[in-house]
């Protein structure tokens, strides 16, 4: 199949790219070409009719469309479905130069009974390919960020969706190369090709500017992380029998013995603490002495749990749900200044299971800092790793959304295919041919090879990113977590008083008075006014602000800098 | 032999069947096309996801200030109020008596009567009861 140009007349540019050097593409002469099309391993080049159109998009599949004239004989149309297809473009010369343009599968043939032409549509079946891959392979292919808190658990879900989710977190596109292999191409590549003067087909340049509403320049992300804080309040109590005269030694004991009274014991203090809903964390007991037969007045006592005094800590534990609220704003400063805010919003929430809270609430133990009257935290169910993963994922998703919005301006032109055979996605392109001066990255490539007329054209659609040179591109690191502020709680003195009855000088029993109530061993008062022997303490209130869900906000602003391309018409 | 009327009716029925078959074939093709279109569109239109929210947490409320009391009218070992000694008391072992070192001398000074310092008894419940008696010196076993 010959083209409309003289044979062997053209130096062929752009057929091979070497290194990262910028390849100039210049206006050149004519060329002759032919196609080689294999369908299901059979060369069908001879029965091609009309033109072969290969449309390739930066995101997703490439599609090839062509017609085959199948002749008057019987045709098994169904058997063509799924057949492998390759299309080679051969520039004739010495030697011929073959370039693979398409590798894929026929997906939807349709047969026109009257004209005996089968119209074929072949795609690269990218989604099917990805669906067959293991998650680890997809990770390797796509890169990017992923978190089950931002998206959904992968079990039972489409791998294709998973790959798309990963791609939504990085400025790159997932497409298929000319050999049918899935690959990822960058939105921010180095300059690879420079189209010089006269390389575009006359009057083929077109500019398509993105509507403003499709160009978000602010991305507001609400990221909430809820977890449990394991809290504890400690209260110090002390009680000393007034008969000891403040002495916690044998002197105090002797002083008490001189006018002895009933005493509380360890069990009473423990029980009083626990009946208030708290627990005895630790204690220093001033016990009643055991047998001391050598004293001038011998002392016998088996009940050394009786107490002349005690210092102890009572504690209570509870868990509190806490929400860290990150209010993140990603913005393209220059764009906001130019057209005002166009806001896109997203929200990510991370919750944690609270089923472990009860175990803490019911636990006792000597752990935890003993500090004054403020609640202390004994750890949380916060998982910094999980938060960092989700935050990185959501932040990069936002950044990618802004970058994508800013590259929605498109410039299109046509160029002879043979001059730009190696132009591909993920390459920086610069075109300056008098009509337009533009830089960008291909977003779509459509090649049309018309067998009837011999015309082989490449339509390049360039995504032109509207960034400003020198703009700041902040690192996307989540700020330090916000602080939770506790309201001041009630402060209570833990010093407990004593009231003793059965003496004529004793006051009347006060039911409300905390501490110890008991009687003198030898009294001269009214026996009917005998006091009960009891120990009582009052625990401080745990305010609801310490217990109900608490929130704290942390704002953060990041500047995003889209690639700065040139667009001069 | 069927009549001409019967035959024509059968032919008409056959024709109807055929034309409706062709009709349904066409309808099926249109339907397949429409379904393909819907599928393609649904792939293009981004899925609208409900913005996630945190489930409302129940308020826990405060833990009010509380009063913890332990009531024990009987002090162990006191034998005082609410005595638990059950009558009768019985001395189980004569040998567990203790005596004061200095007994009571007789008026002529020849004898010293032993003076009891401790008596170990058992009440009706089998609980030990100790009675210490005052003397002028420490007791000896």
Chain A residues with beta carbon closer than 8 angstroms to that of B67: 276, 514, 536-539
pLDDT at B133 exceeding the cut of 90? no
Distance (Å) from the alpha carbon of A68 to chain B's nearest alpha carbon: 22
Contacts of B51 in chain A (CB under 8 A): 345-347
My answer on whether A354 and A460 are in the same domain is: yes
How far does A332 lie from chain B, in Å, by closest CA? 24
Q: Do B68 and A272 touch (CB under 8 A)?
A: yes
A136 within a domain of the structure (yes/no): no
Cβ–Cβ below 8 Å for A535 and B64:
no
Specify whether the CB–CB gap between A48 and A24 falls below 8 A: no
Kindly list the distances between the CA atom of residue A252 and the CA atoms of A300, A303, A517, in Å, as whole numbers in the listed order.
Answer: 17, 18, 19
The single-letter DSSP state of residue B76 is T
Residues in chain B within 8 Å Cβ distance of A262:
75, 78, 80-81
Q: Closest Cα to residue A348, out of A172, A152, A548, A552?
A: A152
Residues A191 and A87 in one domain: no
Question: What's the whole-number average pLDDT of chain B?
Answer: 77
Residues of chain A with pLDDT under 70: 1-20, 368-372
pLDDT given at position A66: 94
* Contact assessment for residue B118 and residue B138, using Cβ atoms and an 8 Å cutoff: no
* The predicted structure's pLDDT at residue A368: 63
Greater model confidence, A383 or B34: A383
Q: What is the pLDDT of residue A15?
A: 40
Q: Would you say the C-alpha torsion A119, A123, A127, A129 has a positive or negative sign? A: positive
Instruction: Count other Cβ atoms within 10 Å, centred on residue A181.
Output: 12
Mutate to test the interface with B, among A355, A489, A549, A551 (most CBs of B within 10 A): A549
Query: Model confidence at B137, in pLDDT bands (50, 70, 90)?
Result: low
For testing the chain A interface, which of B72, B118, B130 should be mutated: the one with the most A CBs within 10 Å? B72
Q: What are phi and psi of A423, to 5 degrees?
A: -65, 130
* Interchain pair B68, A533: CB under 8 A: no
Distance CA A187, CA A561 (A): 13
In angstroms, what separates the C-alpha of B1 from chain A's closest C-alpha?
Answer: 42
Q: Residue B87 has which token pair? A: 């009558």
Please give the Cα distance from A77 to A91 (Å, whole number): 31
The nearest CA of chain A is from the CA of B52 a distance in Å of 6
CB contacts of A546 in chain B (<8 Å) are 62
Nearest to A429, CA basis, from A408, A416, A451, A412? A412
**Residues spanned by the domain of A348:** 187-489+545-569
Residue A7 is assigned to a structural domain of this protein: yes
Q: Same domain for A455 and A549?
A: yes
User: Please, what is the Cα angle at A24 between A568 and A1, to 5 degrees?
Assistant: 110
- b or e along A255-288 (b: 16 or more beta carbons within 10 Å of the residue's beta carbon)? bbbeeebbbbbbebbbbbbebbebbbbebebbbb
State the pLDDT at residue B138: 54
pLDDT computed for residue B23 by the predictor: 61
Q: How do the residues of chain A divide into helix, strand and coil, expressed in percent and rounded to 5?
A: 20, 40, 45
pTM above 0.95, yes or no: no
Answer yes or no: do A393 and A450 share one domain.
Answer: yes
If asked whether residues A261 and A230 sit together in one domain, one would say: yes
Quick check: B83 pLDDT over 60?
A: no
Averaged pLDDT, B83-103: 78
Contact partners, residue A187, CB within 8 Å, separation at least 6 = A171, A172, A173, A403, A404, A407, A441, A463, A465, A563
Is A255 in contact with A244 (CB distance < 8 Å)? yes
Nearest to B54 by CA among A222, A543, A314, A39: A222
Can you tell me which residue has the tokens 């006792």?
A: A364
Pair A79, A116 in one domain: yes
Q: Which of A45, A66, A44 shows the shortest CA–CA distance to A55?
A: A66
For A223, A350, B40, the CA distances from A322, given in Å and listed in that order, are 14, 12, 44
Quick check: is A391 in a domain?
Answer: yes
Q: Are residues A529 and A549 in the same domain?
A: no
> Between B51, B63, B80, which is nearest A316 by CB?
B63
Distance, CA of A424 to CA of A422 (rounded, Å): 6
DSSP-derived 3-state class of residue A43: strand
Judge if A417 and A508 occupy the same domain. no
Whether residue A111 is contained in a domain is answered as yes
Domain membership of residue A416 (yes or no) is yes
pLDDT > 90: what percent of chain B? 8
Q: What does the pLDDT read at residue B47?
A: 67
Dihedral sign for Cα atoms in the order B3, B4, B8, B11: positive
Residue A513 — φ and ψ, nearest 5°?
A: -80, 120
Residues A510 and A469 in one domain: no
Are A276 and B72 a contacting pair at CB < 8 A? Answer: no
Domain presence at residue A231? yes
Taking residue B20's Cβ as centre, other Cβ atoms within 10 Å add up to: 11
DSSP A437-486: EEEEEEEEEEEEEETTT--EEEEEEEEE-B--TT-------PPPPPPPPP
Return the structure tokens found at A201. Answer: 């087909």
Q: What are A249's two structure tokens?
A: 């030694």
Least-confidence region, from A281-285, A522-526, B64-68, B134-138: B134-138
Closest CA in chain A for residue B71: A534
A437 and A554 assigned to the same domain: yes
Based on the fold, state whether residues A108 and A207 are members of the same structural domain. no
Q: How far apart are CA A22 and CA A566, in angstroms?
A: 17
pLDDT attached to residue A189 = 94
Are A306 and B70 a contacting pair at CB < 8 A? no
B93 vs chain A: nearest CA distance in angstroms? 20
Q: Is residue A182 part of a domain?
A: no
My answer on whether A531 and A555 are in the same domain is: no
Residue A52 in any domain: the answer is yes
pLDDT for position A295: 87
Per the structure, the count of domains in chain A is: 3
What interface predicted TM-score (ipTM) does this complex get? 0.73
Of A558, A550, A154, A227, nearest to A392 by C-alpha is A558
Question: CA quadruple A537, A543, A546, A549: dihedral positive or negative?
Answer: positive
């Amino acid at each position: 199949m010959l083209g409309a140009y003289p044979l062997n007349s053209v130096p062929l540019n752009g057929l091979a790219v070497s290194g990262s050097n910028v390849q100039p593409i210049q206006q050149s002469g004519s060329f002759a070409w032919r196609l080689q099309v294999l369908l299901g391993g059979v060369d069908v080049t001879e029965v091609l009719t009309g033109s072969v159109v290969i449309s390739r998009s930066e995101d997703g599949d490439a599609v090839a469309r062509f017609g085959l004239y199948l002749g008057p004989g019987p045709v098994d149309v169904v058997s063509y479905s799924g057949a492998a297809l390759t299309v080679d473009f051969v520039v004739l010369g010495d030697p011929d130069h073959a370039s693979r343009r398409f590798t894929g599968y026929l997906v939807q043939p349709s047969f026109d009974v009257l004209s005996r032409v089968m119209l074929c549509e072949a795609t690269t079946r990218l989604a099917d390919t990805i669906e067959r891959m293991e998650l680890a392979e997809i990770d390797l292919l796509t890169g990017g960020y992923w978190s089950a808190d931002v998206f959904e658990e992968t079990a039972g879900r489409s791998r294709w969706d998973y790959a798309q989710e990963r791609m939504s977190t990085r400025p790159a596109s997932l497409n298929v190369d000319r050999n049918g292999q899935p690959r990822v191409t960058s939105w921010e590549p180095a300059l690879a090709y420079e189209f010089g003067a006269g390389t575009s087909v006359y009057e083929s340049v077109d500019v398509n500017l993105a509507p403003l509403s499709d160009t978000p320049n602010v991305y507001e992300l609400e990221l909430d992380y809820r977890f449990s804080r394991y809290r504890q309040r400690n209260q110090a109590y002390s009680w000393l029998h007034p008969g000891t005269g403040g002495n916690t030694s044998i002197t105090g004991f002797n002083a008490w013995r001189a006018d002895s009274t009933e005493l509380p014991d360890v069990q009473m203090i423990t029980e009083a603490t626990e009946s208030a809903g708290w627990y005895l964390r630790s204690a220093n007991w001033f016990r009643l002495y055991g047998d001391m037969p050598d004293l001038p007045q011998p002392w016998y006592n088996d009940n050394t749990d009786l107490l002349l005094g005690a210092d102890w800590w009572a504690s209570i534990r509870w868990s509190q749900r806490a929400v860290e609220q990150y209010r993140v704003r990603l913005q393209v400063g220059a764009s906001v200044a130019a057209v005002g805010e166009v806001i896109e919003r997203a929200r990510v929430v991370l919750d944690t299971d609270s089923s472990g809270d009860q175990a803490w609430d019911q636990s006792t133990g000597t752990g935890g800092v003993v500090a004054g009257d403020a609640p202390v935290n004994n750890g949380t169910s916060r998982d910094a790793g999980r938060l960092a993963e989700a935050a990185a994922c959501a932040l990069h998703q936002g950044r990618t959304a802004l970058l994508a919005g800013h590259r929605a301006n498109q410039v299109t032109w046509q160029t002879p295919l043979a001059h730009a055979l190696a132009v591909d996605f993920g390459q920086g392109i610069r075109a300056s041919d008098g009509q337009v001066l533009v830089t960008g990255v291909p977003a779509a490539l459509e090649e049309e090879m018309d067998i009837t007329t011999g015309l082989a054209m490449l339509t390049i659609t360039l995504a032109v990113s509207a960034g400003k040179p020198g703009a700041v591109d902040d690192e996307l690191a989540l700020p330090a977590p916000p602080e939770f502020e506790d309201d001041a709680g009630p402060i209570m003195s833990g010093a407990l008083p004593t009231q003793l009855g059965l003496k004529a000088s004793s006051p009347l029993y006060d039911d409300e008075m905390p501490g110890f109530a008991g009687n003198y061993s030898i009294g001269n008062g009214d026996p009917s006014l005998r006091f009960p022997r009891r120990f009582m303490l009052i625990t401080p209130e745990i305010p609801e602000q310490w217990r109900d869900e608490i929130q704290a906000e942390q704002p953060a602003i990041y500047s995003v800098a889209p690639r700065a391309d040139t667009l001069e018409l | 032999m069927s009549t001409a009327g019967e035959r024509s009716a059968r032919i008409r029925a056959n024709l109807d069947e055929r034309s409706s078959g062709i009709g349904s074939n066409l309808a099926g093709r249109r339907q397949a096309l429409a379904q393909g279109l819907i599928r393609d569109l649904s792939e293009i239109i981004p899925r609208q996801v409900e913005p996630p929210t945190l489930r409302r947490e129940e308020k826990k409320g405060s833990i009010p200030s509380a009063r913890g009391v332990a009531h024990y009218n009987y002090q162990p070992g006191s034998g005082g109020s609410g005595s638990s000694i059950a009558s009768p008391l019985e001395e189980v072992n004569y040998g567990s008596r203790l005596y004061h070192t200095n007994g009571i001398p007789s008026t002529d000074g020849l004898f010293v009567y032993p003076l009891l310092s401790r008596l170990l008894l058992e009440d009706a419940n089998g609980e030990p009861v100790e009675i210490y008696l005052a003397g002028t010196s420490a007791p000896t076993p």
